[in-house]
Amino acid sequence: MHHTRRKPVTLVTAVLGTATLALVGACSSGGAGGGQASGGDSTTYTWWDPYPQHDASSDWEARVQQCGEEAGVTIQRTAYDTTALTNQALLSAQEGTSPDVILLDNPAVSTLADTGMLTTMDEFGLDTADVDANLLDAGVVDGETYGIPIGANTLALYYNKEILDAAGVDPASITDWASLTAALEAVTGAGHKGITFAGIGTEEGSFQFLPWFWGAGADLTQLDSPEAVEALELWKGWLDAGYAPNSVIQNSQNTTWEEFLTGDFAFVENGTWQVNSAAEADFETGVVQLPAKDGGVAPAPTGGEFIVAPVQSDEGRYEVTRQIVECMTTPEGFVETANTFAYYVPPTEEGQEQLLAESPELETWVEAVRSAKGRTSDNLGTDYPKISEALWTAVQNALSGSATPQEALSAAQADAEAATS
């Protein structure tokens, strides 16, 4: 295999500070696993991922080992918490002990790529042309692609059909902000609770706010634009009208789901990873897209992992690594991963069509993923975590009433500019 260049790995303590991207989407919050990075054994390849909830007896472990078997090697898999994985990857590069393969939460790809510790997919000779551009963008830095998404998840609105029926609300009528707010008025007027979402002061808060932010036409480079203010006024207006509970200020995505499962709420903003739980709820559920302000589907942020290949001193290992990556990223491989996890949508049109042939009920989610957007898109790269922190702080301040949406976002823009300059 031909490798044209190697950027030097230059890690500093400040880089580790940017790597603490919080858990969102389908990533696990479980504990870290043990294990060592690659040590030169030509028959054993090391693999790190953020799925400690999937142990050695899991379908996921079997999926990983299958790719090793097809390449003629054994895979030594180690699972870490999402944030711990990013920090461990940075440290391993500094120490020269990087694993052969890492599955990494997509906003962290640019953090690792920025240090020079990742090979590019061009260097590996892997074609990414079939991967949906909106999903691949999270792994593109300065025009170079540093990984391939193994699948994607995103957000939509789950609804309680019983509550909507009782309030006379047709979910198909929800096509923009005005019609959604009218639906919330109807269900609360009928004595039910309206909507719950996660406005917590972490990355999850930004993750859940972004569809409304982007759906208004706002841009992460200008947090205090009139469009951004409109989005935050929407959320604040729902709280003031009693359509959403004050608990959203502290809610995580898991908490909102627990609230929805009580059967009290008409709507919850949540993700693909709750598909199976929704099917098992004590009431009939459905899903509608998150609407943009003036209609259409709002871009929701993509969750999910990229498969990346760290630089190795022994370039002879790359051929087998390439085979392992290819095993995970064929159309059949994408569908197998989607079925293993239940909440991943393949990142290619061919894979999506295969998934829909098997599970046509996932059409809403496939459409949501096709409309989704990477958080580090627009070449934000390692600036994204700093911008996101300013944004979730503004959401907290506005929802708590300590500042107006305009005041909160103006302060956020100033903080973001100071942090990224």
Cα–Cα distance measured from residue 356 to residue 372, given in angstroms and rounded to the nearest whole number: 18
Q: pLDDT 10s per residue in the chain (421 long)?
A: 333 333 333 333 333 343 344 334 444 333 333 344 444 568 999 999 999 989 999 999 999 999 999 999 999 999 998 889 999 999 999 999 999 999 999 999 999 999 999 999 999 889 999 999 999 999 999 899 999 999 999 999 999 999 999 999 999 999 999 999 999 999 999 999 999 999 999 999 999 999 999 999 999 999 999 999 999 999 999 999 999 999 999 999 999 999 999 999 999 999 999 999 999 999 999 999 999 999 999 999 999 999 999 999 999 999 999 999 999 999 889 998 888 887 789 999 999 999 999 999 999 999 999 999 999 988 898 899 999 999 999 999 999 999 999 999 999 999 999 999 9
* Percentage helix, strand, coil for the chain under 3-state DSSP, each rounded to 5: 50, 15, 35
Angle between helices 59-71 and 318-329 (to 10 degrees): 130
Contact 264, 193 (CB under 8 A): yes
Tokens 């059909």, residue? 161
Domains and CATH numbers, the chain: 13-152+303-370 (3.40.190.10), 155-300+380-420 (3.40.190.10)
Cα–Cα distance measured from residue 69 to residue 357, given in angstroms and rounded to the nearest whole number: 28
Q: How many CA atoms within 13 Å lie on the side-chain side of 374? A: 31
Cα–Cα distance measured from residue 104 to residue 380, given in angstroms and rounded to the nearest whole number: 18
Cα–Cα distance measured from residue 152 to residue 131, given in angstroms and rounded to the nearest whole number: 11
- pTM of the shown model: 0.85
Amino acid identity, residue 189?
G
Tokens 């260049």, residue? 5
Cα–Cα distance measured from residue 280 to residue 342, given in angstroms and rounded to the nearest whole number: 14
